[in-house]
Amino acid sequence: MTMEDSDALGWRSIADLVGDHPDAPVALIGAGLNERSLTPGRCDLGPRAFRAVLPRFSTYDVETGAELSTRIHDAGDLPLKALSPADAFEPVRDAVAGQGRRALTVLIGGNNAITRPGVHALGLAKGLSSAGLLTLDAHFDLRDTDQGLTNGNPVQALLEDGLDGRRISQIGLAPFANTRRAHDKAKAAGISVRTARDCRQRGLAAVATEELDRLSALCDVLYVDFDIDVIDRSQWPASPGARPGGVSAQDFFDAARVIGAHPKVRVVDLTEYDPSLEIGDLGSLTAGRWFCELLAGFETR
Ligand SMILES: N=CN[C@@H](CCC(=O)O)C(=O)O
C-alpha cells in the first residue's frame, strides 16, 4: 500500500493542499531558471522534483499537534528554459507580482538568479525602498555584474538597482567560499552579515529572527532567499555551491518555521537545488520538509 492509497488510515498529504485555489493565501510558482549558473547543472529540474515529493508529506506535525490546512494556489511552472537571467527578469517578476494579493508567495528555483526579479516584484507597488531582503546563503552573491547576470551576483545587481544595503541581511556566510572584496562590498553597503559559525552556534532560527526584527523596523515587506548551499554539503549534496561546515538541515527547517510565521515576509524562494546531483531522494525530501515548516510557521500568523 502506498501512502497515497492509505486514506483509510487518515493519511492526508501536503500535495492535497496544492491546486487551483484562486482565493488561497499562499501561492506556489516553479521558476526553473538554469542558465548562467557558475557551475553548470540542472537547477531547471528543481520544481519538478519538489512537486513530486509533496505526496510523501503528511499534513500532521506530531511535534506540535498542528494539522496543516492552508490552501496553496498552484500558479504552475514558468517557461524559463534556455532563458538568461536577463531575459527571465520580466517573466519572473511579473509572475510573482501577479500573486501580490497573497499573504505569501513561494518561488521554487531554479538558480539564485531568480532572487533579483522576485525582490523587484515585491517592490513594484511602492518601489524598492519598501522592500527588504534576507538571504540564507553560504555566499554574498556580490560578484561583479560587468560580465552579465549570473547566480553569483543577484545581490550585487539589486544594490545597483537601488536596493539600500541597510535593508539587506545575509546569514550563513561560509569561510573560504567568498572573497575579501565581496565582504568589503557588503560592509561598505551597510549589509548585515552573519557567518555560518555564528548561525551554527546561536541557531539559524535565532539569527534569522534577529535579522527579521532588524529589517522589519526599516521595511514594509520582506523577501527571503533560501539558497540551499547554506546547508552542510553532507545533508544536501544536490547543491553545486555547498561545502562541509554549513548549517544543519534541522536548523534550516527551524529557520523556515520562524520565517514563515513573520507577517512581513511576503515572498520566499528556494534556490540552487540541482536534482541531477541528487543522492537518492535526500534533496527532494529536504525541500519538501522545508515547505512543510514554512507552512507550519505561516499558519501561526
Ligand atoms: N548563489 C550561488 N553562488 C555561488 C555559486 C554557486 C555555483 O554555481 O557554483 C557563488 O557565488 O560562489
Domain extent listing, the chain: 3-298
Q: Helix and strand tally (H, E) in the chain?
A: 9, 9
Strands (E), 174-256: 192-195, 221-227
pLDDT of 126 over the 80 cut: no
Which residue is listed with cell 531575459?
87
How far does the centroid of ligand 1 lie from the alpha carbon of residue 199, in Å? 20
Identify the residue whose C-alpha is closest to ligand 1 atom 3: 152
Q: Which residues of 199-230 are buried (b: 16+ CB within 10 A; e: fewer)?
A: bbeebbbbbbbebbebbbeebebbbbbbbbbb
Confidence (pLDDT) at 7: 60
Measured distance CA(89)–CA(141) in Å, rounded = 17
The complex's ipTM?
Answer: 0.96
pLDDT tens digits for 19-55?
A: 999 999 999 999 999 999 999 999 999 999 999 999 9
Among 44, 158, 272, 273, residue to substitute to test ligand 1 (most atoms within 8 Å of Cβ): 272
Strands 72-77 and 26-31: parallel
Domain 3-298: CATH class, spelled out: alpha beta
Atom of ligand 1 nearest to the CA of 112: 1
Atom of ligand 1 nearest to the CA of 153: 11
